Amino acid sequence: MREEPVSIEMAMAADEVFTTGTAVVLCAVGSLTYKGEKKQFGAPGVPTPTALELYEALTGLQQERTADEFGWVHRVC
C-alpha cells in the first residue's frame, strides 16, 4: 500500500474514484469535471463496486461483524 499524489489525468482515466476519512469512512466519487470534460463513475447515486466492497469490509471490521484477522480493532475503556 502506498500514498501518493494523483494527477487529474490519472483520476480522469480511472475506472473508480473514492475518498476516505474518519467521518465518511469511504465514499465513492460520482463524477469529476475538468476543463469541461465530465467523467462519470458508475450510475449516478450508486456506489461503484470496489468502493462498496471496501466500505463493507472496513465497516464490518469496525462494527465487529467480520473477523479481525490483522488485530486492528482494540477496545477502549
**Strand (E) positions, the chain?**
18-21, 25-28, 31-34, 37-40
* Tens of pLDDT, residues 4-50: 899 999 999 999 999 988 888 999 999 999 999 999 999 998 999 99
The residue written with cell numbers 469529476 in the block is 32
> What is the C-alpha to C-alpha distance for residues 64 and 71, in angstroms, rounded to an integer?
12
Instruction: Please tell me the predicted confidence (pLDDT) of residue 65.
Output: 95
| 3-state percent helix, strand, coil for the chain, nearest multiple of 5 | 25, 20, 55
Instruction: Please tell me the predicted confidence (pLDDT) of residue 32.
Output: 96
User: Model pTM?
Assistant: 0.77
> What is the C-alpha to C-alpha distance for residues 10 and 76, in angstroms, rounded to an integer?
40
Q: Averaged over 61-73, what is the pLDDT?
A: 91
